[in-house]
A and B are shown apart, each in its own frame.
Chain A
Amino acid sequence: MDTLLNNLDIFTTGFKNTAILFIFSAVFALILGTIVGGMRVSPVPVMRAVGTVYVNTVRNTPLTLIFFFFIFGYPKLGLADLSYSTLAIIALTLYTATYVAETLRAGINTVPLGQAEAARAIGLPFVQTLSLVILPQAFRAVMPPMISVFIALLKNTTVAAGFSVAEAGAIRANLSERGEPAMVVLLWVAFVFVILVALLSALQHYFERKWKVAR
């Protein structure tokens, strides 16, 4: 307990940065993922191909490697100076967006065929079929797996600790300078993550129960 209370400053900054990484990456990944998911079911073959190549490439690349490229490689390119946190958010967004896109695509497949056919029958074009008819219904089915994607994102933010971002995963390195036992520190960090994940899972179960009977 002392380890936590005596170093509350480092713990709170660490988890504050984790929250920042998580929230920004989640929002951007949701936007980018929806666009890519839409591209993957679009009527334009080139768009489908671009979406597929992006998803398959990034999903077969370890997140650590994407971080590696952005944190070590990006500064060498002489582009605008970005902080490590911003670069970490970019890396997490690019990685998570592929999972968001795939989840959305799976969700679109759960909507009964007749819905899309009915939308087409009354003359809706692709964008409106998707945004007015399919996606609102897919949303129910997508919510629980989407929360799983975000749980994974929350845990993935710790990778940033290996790349000089002062978030929760880096608390151990900071506190070992203060001579705190590594195990105790890490157990506290793990404990907070377990709580956060449990909260998200509870939300997931809530949505699952609430919408299960609906169709």
Chain B
Amino acid sequence: MSSVLFDAPGPKAVRRNRWLAVGTVIVVLAVAGFIIYKFAETGQFSAVKWRIFTFPLVQQTILGAIGNTLQAFGAATVLSLLLGLVLAVGRLSERRWINTPCHWFTELFRAIPLLILMMMIYYGLPPLGVQGITPFVAVVAGLTLYNGSVLAEVFRAGIESLPRGQAEAGYAIGLTKSRVMGSILLPQAVRAMMPVIVAQLVVILKDTALGFIVTYDEILFQAKFFGSQVQYGSPIIPAAMVAAVIYIGLCLILAGVAKWVEWRMSHDRKIAKGTHMVAPADATIPQA
């Protein structure tokens, strides 16, 4: 797209672009250099501040924290996908007593800030006599309610974007409403919406970090703990760097998985199309 906005540069533009490039590099280097200089000046790179991260016990604790983050992420992902499916199907129901509550539910939980939701569960419910509210429960429940509502809208948009003929063809061959939804509409909608769904999964992963505020024992929580150890020089900035590397790494891995899934799916469809042309009756081809 970008190439449409400007012509192939002539000699004058080439010179000007070179200057602009040099200017950008200088500005970026100046900013980065200033940050690194300030880090160095305040001793953020000194061995003392990093020593705490060389202890096996500390490393194990951080690994455990990563495990906790992933655990919350996994549980919240599965539950939000389920909740999203239920709410999407509910909203598309023709019975008003089903679709109206589903509509209000999604609108409500998309509007409440996730952190407030987690606080409600963590601080609000126990005084009302609800037992067994751990930080983990609060984080997962908050993430599920919020992302389930968002995913419901995504699924609904996917289903509504399908040609009407898809559902009509299903009814025409005598499938019930639930079969039409389950075997015809949803699979296509999920496939069409895959990029958006994966983007939402990245959001879930990032939002597990909110668990830090409701004292869930995840990466940032440990980073804060190790970062405030005075006898190791309060290495809060090294701790933040460690946490940043972990989070960005996890998100990039997830994005990579997403790319792979997408590639796999588009690949799949090509195979499916090809086989149909050659052997339309062959239903035994495995759905790799």
Chain A residue with the shortest CB-CB distance to B210: A64
**8 A Cβ contacts from B7-55 to A:** 7, 9, 13, 17, 20-21, 24-25, 28, 38-39, 41-42, 44
Main secondary structure of the interface of A (DSSP, over half): helix
Q: How far is the CA of A44 from the CA of B18 in the complex (A)?
A: 8
Residues of A contacting B5 in the complex (Cβ-Cβ under 8 angstroms)? 41, 43, 108, 116, 120, 126, 129-130, 134
The answer to whether B124 has its CB under 8 Å from any CB of chain A is yes
Cross-chain contact B111 with A65 (CB below 8 angstroms) = no
Which among B113, B115, B202 has the greatest number of chain A C-beta atoms within 10 A? B113
Contact of A60 among B28, B41, B202, B236 (CB under 8 A): B202
Residues of A contacting B82 in the complex (Cβ-Cβ under 8 angstroms)? none
Q: Count how many pairs of residues, one from A and one from B, have CB atoms less than 8 Å apart in the complex.
A: 163
Q: How far is the CA of A42 from the CA of B108 in the complex (A)?
A: 40
Contact of A78 among B20, B42, B113, B227 (CB under 8 A): B42
The answer to whether B127 has its CB under 8 Å from any CB of chain A is yes
Q: How far is the CA of A59 from the CA of B41 in the complex (A)?
A: 29
Cross-chain contact A172 with B123 (CB below 8 angstroms) = yes
Residues of A contacting B119 in the complex (Cβ-Cβ under 8 angstroms)? 169, 172, 182, 186
Cross-chain contact A162 with B213 (CB below 8 angstroms) = yes
Residues of B contacting A120 in the complex (Cβ-Cβ under 8 angstroms)? 5-7
Residues of A contacting B24 in the complex (Cβ-Cβ under 8 angstroms)? 44, 46-47, 50
Chain B residue with the shortest CB-CB distance to A125: B6
Chain A residue with the shortest CB-CB distance to B28: A50
Contact of B123 among A42, A134, A186 (CB under 8 A): A186
**8 A Cβ contacts from B109-168 to A:** 110-117, 119-120, 123-125, 127-128
The answer to whether B224 has its CB under 8 Å from any CB of chain A is yes
Give the interface of B toward A (CB within 8 A): 1-2, 4-7, 9, 13, 17, 20-21, 24-25, 28, 38-39, 41-42, 44, 108, 110-117, 119-120, 123-125, 127-128, 202, 206-210, 212-213, 220, 223-224, 227, 234, 236-237, 240, 243-244, 247-248, 251-252, 255
- Of the A-B pairs whose beta carbons lie under 8 Å apart in the complex, a sample of 12, sorted by A's number, is A46-B20, A46-B21, A60-B252, A62-B209, A68-B223, A108-B5, A113-B4, A117-B4, A129-B6, A155-B114, A169-B113, A198-B111
